[in-house]
Structure formats: structure tokens, C-alpha cells
Chain A
């Protein structure tokens, strides 16, 4: 059974597509949650790249450990971002449109 029938390039193009969709989401959404979802898509694309290269190098644990740490940092980022989002939600009269949070004084 040849598991390398799908080359590295396929995974790279797939990851690039996911990353670019996340970038479009990040740039076009107005709500903070939509922007956060775009960031999650971009992180997933980057992680696929790391794991694909690790597999291509004969299951190199370096890439797998990097992707693992990236997932942990994505979890931290999501929790802090959602805490900020709830603070914005209270401060901005129950709206989380990013355009209204353009000043730092609140």
C-alpha cells in the first residue's frame, strides 16, 4: 500500500486555500466573532502545513510538536479574544461591530 500517492503539494495547496479563506473572513467580517472565526481558519491552515511537512520528512516530531504548541496557543488566543469580546459587548451597548470600537478609551 503506497500512502504517498497524494504528494506534499496537494496538502500545501489545501492549506493555502484554507488560509486564504480565513484571510477573506478576517478582512470582510464586521462582527468580532466572525473575525475570530477567520483567525481560527488561518491557524488551521498553518497547522496543516506544519504536519504535512513533518509527515513528508518521515514523521519528524519537530513539526508535530510545533503544531501541538500552535493549537495550545490558539486556545489561549480564543479565550482571551472572547473575554475581550464580552467586555466590548457590555461597553458598546450590546453590539460587537468592530467599526464602533475604534477608540481605546471606551
Chain B
């Protein structure tokens, strides 16, 4: 019962803060509300008995991506111009189409007869399983994602520096 209560509480907090992310007029509010959404997702991973993913979510999303987004918001936000983050005009058709898509997905999730659950009744640390499969069956994706990480790093630096140099030339 405590499990179900925690689950519904986390769902409520996560979806409410995600709603603020989506519908807030101020982009700063959206960025700070994204913090609660990402932490709610981390708690969801804990409820799914995946502690390693929860920690990775906290470290990478909350500690990395969210800080990056906050920096971007603070650097690019015009304080005197809150209308810069306005929502688009054609909201109703988009809302209707996405609501229809959500209905279809929810119907598919509820209506499908899933094979009977084999979920264990106790929480176990997931680290050893993930580590063994990362260096075993999934060694190739693991190495490829490291190459991709290096490429992304170099690419981000190149994209961010190039305009800086041309701007200096123009001056």
C-alpha cells in the first residue's frame, strides 16, 4: 500500500511539474520546474528497482543537463521581454492531436494482455547486473557510445567556438 501511495504521489508531482514546464509563460519557471520532473523520474526508477539508473538520472540529468539548460536560460533570457517565450498560436489543434495520441497509447497499454509478471518481490541492487552486461553482451554499444560521446564533445566545442571567432573578425 505504501508502494502504491508513493507511486501515485510521484506521478502527481512529476506530471504537475511537467505541466508547468509545458505551459508556463516564463521560460525560467519551466527550467526550474524541470528539476522536479527529472527528480520524479528518478524516484520512478527507484520504484522500478533500478537504483543505478536513479543515481545516473540524478547525476547526468539533474547535475548535468539541467544545469546546462539553466545556464542557457540565464544567458539568453531577456529580463525585460518575458513575451519572448510565448506559446505558439495554433495550440488547440496541437493539444487535440496529442490528446488523441495519448488516448491511443493509453488504450494500447491498458488493453494489451502482457505476459505475466516475473518481477522479483524484493529490491536488489542493479549495479552488478548492469556492469556485467555492459562489459559482456553489450560491449559494442558501450564502446560505440564512448566514441559518440567524444564526437559530441568535439562537435559542441567546434559549433560553439566558430561563431565566436567570426564575431571577433567582424569587429
Taking beta carbons and an 8 Å cutoff, which residues of A are in contact with B?
A: 1-14, 16-25, 27-31, 33-34, 36-38, 40-41, 44, 47-48, 51-52, 54-59, 61-62, 64-65, 67-69, 71-80, 82-87, 89-91, 94-97
Contact = CB atoms under 8 A, between A and B. Distances in A.
A73 B153 CA distance: 12
Most chain-A Cβ atoms within 10 A of its Cβ — which of B41, B118, B126, B137?
B41
B94 interface: yes
A34 B159 contact: no
A16 B109 contact: yes
Interface residues of B, number: 88
A10 B7 contact: yes
Q: Is chain A's interface secondary structure helix, strand, loop, or mixed overall?
A: helix
Interface in B4-28: 4, 7, 11, 14-15, 18-19, 21-22, 27
Contacts of A27: 88, 94, 98
Contact of A75 (B22, B31, B65): B65
Interface string B31-71: 10010011001001101111011001100110011001100
A28 B110 contact: no
A41 B76 contact: no
A41 B47 CA distance: 19
Contact of A33 (B4, B76, B124): B76
Contact of B27 (A17, A33, A54, A71): A33
Interface of B: 1, 3-4, 7, 11, 14-15, 18-19, 21-22, 27, 30-31, 34, 37-38, 41, 44-45, 47-50, 52-53, 56-57, 60-61, 64-65, 68-69, 72-73, 75-76, 78, 84-88, 91, 94-95, 98-99, 101-102, 105-106, 109-110, 114, 117-124, 126, 129-130, 132-134, 137-138, 141-142, 145, 148-149, 152-153, 155-157, 159-160, 162-164, 167
A47 B41 contact: yes
A20 B138 CA distance: 30
30 contacts: A4-B117, A12-B106, A14-B15, A20-B105, A23-B98, A24-B94, A25-B21, A28-B22, A30-B87, A40-B69, A51-B48, A58-B118, A59-B119, A59-B126, A61-B126, A64-B130, A65-B134, A65-B138, A65-B141, A72-B148, A74-B61, A75-B60, A78-B64, A82-B69, A83-B155, A85-B76, A86-B72, A86-B163, A89-B75, A94-B78
